[in-house]
């Protein structure tokens, strides 16, 4: 088993100068022992100058005693040393900075250099952690241990990012309409992508989680106070009709809309029902017998390696998804092209069902615009509504892929940045309309 773990790590590190390997779990638990033994062996095989062991430990504060306790860290390091691993640095998690006296105590009883006992206290933003570690020279400790001659870290751009996060100039509210709203970590990647976009727009992004089943039951009036609406991915029929009502509200009231994966498919269904004359439009995922399957399960497609994949309704769900980054051609002159500033989009996928190409001509004739298609099968990857004409909408876009997977705090993501900017513009328009109404009322008086 240890040989296979080492081989797996080596394959993942192929072509890289440095590999960061995380071993989860708790030191001493039987589940993690094979993995710890594998990295112990790697320390011998690669040479200690080529391996740096960084151990994350707990340093709790006992409120009733009013003091920090270092024993959990001491025992955890002791367990590591018993199996042959000597930590080169300790990351000591606590709810407060650990005093120097306690750090020296930890160093003494764990055989770790005092400057390598790093205090990692609770921060109000995860994006403050890199600078926290840099101030305690963790980067230099690791580079020195691995004999890497590196230039001093330049975190000026990172400090500007944190400064923008802490000092927003605007504030918007985005409704995330889904069925997993009681477990908001289900949308963690989306939350972070919106946060990244907010940083670049100098805006605080408030996310209001809206239960799609509540909209299904009570209507979409609860969306009237938000600046944009996002419908994320998901599986299964529960809450679908509520999401469709939310999409209809966004389209008819000109509220910026972003549909991701299922959110795009439902936007197509909504448009088909209410604009294209396909009143029974649906997905075969929710209604296998629908007479108008505008979203359906395709049986054959080519993956990014050129291999032909096949599936049917009875296939294993996890093994028959369209997965990974796949290129698609952007249609010239679309809003999507202006957002991406290019002719090809290459984003990551995780889904089974696709928009049915058979219905696309009818949908396009009714005003829906297909903004990008896959290169081989010509599957619908992006849809939008035009910004001018009888079906105009200032910002209505759906994507079959998951753009949140490629968002980062440094660069954000084009779609999310444009979405946040659209929400800001909508907020301004809405405020102007309210002021106009108030002025008219005063004039009438």
- Residue ending a domain, among 134, 157, 180, is 157
Residues 308, 305: Cα–Cα separation, whole Å: 9
How confident is the model at residue 318, as a pLDDT? Answer: 43
| Domain presence at residue 164 | no
The verdict on 261 and 139 lying in the same domain is no
Tally the domains of the chain: 2
How confident is the model at residue 409, as a pLDDT? Answer: 93
Catalytic residue from among 52, 404, 413, 421: 404
In angstroms, how far is CA 56 from the centroid of its own chain?
Answer: 25
The verdict on 216 and 306 lying in the same domain is yes
| Domain presence at residue 40 | yes
Contact between 315 and 342 (Cβ < 8 Å): no
The verdict on 228 and 323 lying in the same domain is yes
β-strand pairing of 353-355 with 292-297: antiparallel
The verdict on 103 and 237 lying in the same domain is no
- Domain with 132, as residue range(s), is 2-157
The verdict on 296 and 181 lying in the same domain is yes
pLDDT in tens, 258-275: 999 999 999 999 999 999
The verdict on 94 and 220 lying in the same domain is no
| Domain presence at residue 441 | no
Strand partners, 163: none
How confident is the model at residue 243, as a pLDDT? Answer: 96
The verdict on 210 and 345 lying in the same domain is yes
Tokens of 441: 């009322």
Strand partners, 328: 345, 374
How confident is the model at residue 316, as a pLDDT? Answer: 45
Residues 163, 398: Cα–Cα separation, whole Å: 32
pLDDT in tens, 77-124: 999 999 999 999 999 999 999 999 999 999 999 999 999 999 999 999
Q: Which of 268, 296, 274 is nearest to 360 (CA)?
A: 268
Catalytic residue from among 196, 402, 413, 421: 402
pLDDT in tens, 285-300: 999 999 999 998 876 4
Catalytic residue from among 52, 92, 261, 399: 261
Residue written as tokens 């753009």?
A: 403
pLDDT in tens for each of the 445 residues of the chain? 999 999 999 999 999 999 999 998 888 888 999 999 999 999 999 998 999 999 999 999 999 988 999 999 999 999 999 999 999 999 999 999 999 999 999 999 999 999 999 999 999 999 999 999 999 999 999 999 999 998 889 999 899 999 999 999 999 999 999 988 888 888 999 999 999 999 999 999 999 999 999 999 999 999 999 999 999 988 888 889 999 999 999 999 999 999 999 999 999 999 999 999 999 999 999 999 999 999 988 764 444 455 555 555 555 444 467 788 889 999 999 999 999 999 999 999 888 899 999 999 999 999 999 999 998 888 999 999 999 999 999 999 999 999 999 999 999 999 999 999 999 999 999 988 766 666 665 566 5
The verdict on 250 and 304 lying in the same domain is yes
Q: Which of 91, 81, 97, 142 is nearest to 117 (CA)?
A: 91
Can you give the CATH number for the domain in which 94 is found? 3.40.50.300
The verdict on 181 and 138 lying in the same domain is no
Tokens of 325: 């980054």
| Domain presence at residue 438 | no
How confident is the model at residue 434, as a pLDDT? Answer: 66
The verdict on 359 and 390 lying in the same domain is yes
Can you give the CATH number for the domain in which 350 is found? 3.40.50.880
Residues 285, 46: Cα–Cα separation, whole Å: 51
Helices (H), 201-284: 212-218, 240-252, 262-274
How confident is the model at residue 129, as a pLDDT? Answer: 94
Is the torsion defined by CA of 284, 402, 238, 282 positive or negative? negative
The verdict on 149 and 208 lying in the same domain is no
| Domain presence at residue 440 | no
51-87 CB burial, b ≥16 within 10 A, e <16 = bbbbbbbebeeeeeeeebebeebbebbeebeeeebeb
Q: Active site includes 261?
A: yes
| Domain presence at residue 47 | yes
Contact between 90 and 120 (Cβ < 8 Å): no
How confident is the model at residue 219, as a pLDDT? Answer: 94
The verdict on 352 and 378 lying in the same domain is yes
């Amino acid at each position: 088993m240890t040989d296979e773990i080492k081989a797996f790590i080596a394959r993942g590190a192929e072509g890289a100068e440095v590999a960061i390997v995380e071993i989860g779990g708790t030191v001493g638990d039987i589940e993690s022992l094979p993995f710890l033994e594998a990295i112990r062996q790697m320390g011998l095989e690669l040479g200690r100058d080529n391996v740096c062991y960084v151990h994350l430990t707990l340093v709790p504060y006992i409120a009733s005693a009013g003091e920090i306790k270092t024993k959990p860290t001491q025992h955890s390091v002791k367990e590591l040393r018993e199996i042959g691993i000597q930590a080169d640095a300790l990351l000591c998690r606590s709810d407060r900075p650990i005093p120097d006296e306690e750090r020296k105590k930890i160093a003494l009883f764990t055989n770790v250099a005092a400057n390598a006992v790093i205090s990692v206290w609770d921060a109000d933003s995860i994006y403050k952690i890199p600078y926290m570690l840099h101030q305690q020279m963790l980067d230099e400790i690791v580079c020195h241990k691995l004999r890497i001659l590196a230039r001093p870290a330049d975190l000026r751009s990172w400090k500007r990012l944190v400064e923008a996060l802490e000092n927003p100039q605007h504030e918007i509210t985005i409704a995330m309409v889904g069925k997993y709203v009681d477990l908001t970590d289900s949308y963690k990647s989306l939350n972070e992508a919106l946060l990244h976009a907010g940083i670049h727009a100098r805006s605080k992004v408030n996310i209001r989680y809206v239960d799609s089943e509540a909209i299904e039951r009570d209507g979409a009036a609860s969306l009237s106070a938000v600046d944009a609406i996002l419908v994320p991915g998901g599986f299964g029929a529960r809450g679908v009709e509520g999401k469709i009502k939310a999409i209809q509200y966004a389209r008819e009231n000109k509220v910026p809309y972003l549909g991701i994966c299922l959110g795009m498919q439902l936007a197509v269904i909504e448009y088909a029902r209410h604009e294209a004359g396909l009143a029974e439009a649906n997905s075969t995922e929710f209604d296998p017998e629908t007479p108008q399957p505008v979203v359906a399960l395709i049986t054959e497609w080519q993956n990014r390696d050129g291999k032909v994949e096949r599936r049917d309704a009875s296939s294993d769900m996890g093994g028959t998804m369209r997965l990974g980054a796949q290129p698609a051609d952007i249609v010239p002159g679309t809003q999507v092209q202006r957002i991406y500033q290019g002719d090809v989009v290459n984003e990551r996928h995780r889904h089974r069902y696709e928009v049915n190409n058979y219905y696309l001509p009818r949908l396009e004739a009714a005003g829906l615009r297909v903004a990008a298609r896959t290169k081989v099968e010509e599957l619908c990857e992006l849809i939008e509504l035009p910004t001018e004409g009888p079906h105009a909408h200032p910002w209505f876009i759906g994507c079959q892929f998951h753009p949140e997977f490629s968002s980062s705090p440094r660069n954000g993501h084009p779609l999310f940045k444009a979405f946040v900017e659209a929400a800001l513009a909508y907020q301004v328009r809405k405020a102007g309309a309210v002021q106009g109404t108030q002025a008219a009322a005063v004039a009438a008086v």
